[in-house]
Amino acid sequence: MQVYDIITKTADKIGQYTYNNIGWNRYLGYGRINAHNAVNVASGAPNKPQNLTITCNANSRPLLKWFRNQEPDMHKYKVYKKVTEEWGFQYLGEAFDTFYVDNSEQCITGPPIANERVASYRVTAVDNTSKESVPSDVASTRVYGPPMEKALSQNKVLFYQLHQNNPNPFNPTTKIKFQIEDFKLQNDISQLVTLKVYDLLGREIATLVNEPKQSGEYEVEFNADKYGLSSGVYFYQLNSGNYTATKKFVYLR
């Protein structure tokens, strides 16, 4: 019965149907089984953070708050964010208290506007042994900026951007998307772009891109098996002109 309870309580809620107070509906049951969440709970991971809420701080940035976990060995919280269905929730940052400010977004509190999108967040708890809880319930808010799907569908990129890889964690391959800004008022001029992978000590692991590229959207695939990597955290960095962006990803063998 304990295994049954863990599986039902950690299942992902899917579809548009309303779940009752025990997380069940007649069409989808308890949802889609999430083995990762179930194993975490079975291994003694912390309880998920409760009562996640979002307000706007004095600078109009999304301010996340939640209740403190009562486990005595609590260490920190991890924050995940989603702005598009395509990429889903991706790691955003961590907090050692029960609040987090997303300085990359600006809240919208007035009536609907044309250039807005929805930013959704959830939080996990991590104990001193690095066991991570299942995610909290989702909280969302309206923020400035056109939805990413719309910007890409127009096939016109006006800014630099390095996306979080997908999937993450991964084994053995993952894809990385990036965008190159229109250069000199969209003149047809190429610019040198490099995309490299590094380990935690800053040693270069791989060069995925090292060539001139015109403004636009690009996607490359990284295969960890090709470089004989062990499980762990690695970084990838995009450089083009004066623009530099770095993100981390997790390889699980």
Among 151, 146, 145, 159, residue whose Cα is nearest residue 240: 159
pLDDT 10s per residue in the chain (253 long)? 466 766 776 777 666 555 565 566 766 777 778 776 666 666 678 889 999 999 999 989 999 999 999 888 999 999 999 886 556 788 889 999 999 999 888 999 888 887 788 999 999 999 998 888 888 999 999 998 754 434 443 444 457 889 999 999 999 999 999 988 765 434 445 578 899 999 988 889 999 999 888 778 889 999 999 999 999 999 999 988 777 889 999 999 8
Distance CA 19, CA 211 (A): 51
User: Which CATH superfamily groups domain 155-251?
Assistant: Macroglobulin (MG2) domain (2.60.40.1930)
Class level of CATH domain 45-146: mainly beta
User: For residue 181, how many other CB atoms are within 10 A of its CB?
Assistant: 16
pLDDT of residue 85: 58
Can you tell me the distance from the alpha carbon of 157 to that of 219, in angstroms, rounded to the nearest whole number?
Answer: 14
Asked if 249 and 205 touch (Cβ cutoff 8 Å), the reply is no
Q: What is the structure's pLDDT at 1? A: 45
Q: What angle do CA 59, 61, 67 make, to 5 degrees?
A: 120
At residue 110, the pLDDT reads 85
- In the chain, CATH 2.60.40.1930 sits at 155-251
Q: The pTM is what?
A: 0.49
Alpha-carbon distance of 176 to 223, in angstroms, equals 11
Ramachandran quadrant class, 5 (left: phi over 0; alpha: psi -120 to 50; beta: rest): alpha
Residue entry with tokens 């309206």: 142
Q: What order do you get walking across the sheet with 139-144 strand by strand?
A: 90-95, 74-82, 116-127, 139-144
CATH 2.60.40.10 range(s) for the chain read 45-146
For residue 19, which of 33, 188, 11 has the smallest C-alpha distance? Answer: 11
CA 249/CA 235 separation, integer angstroms? 6
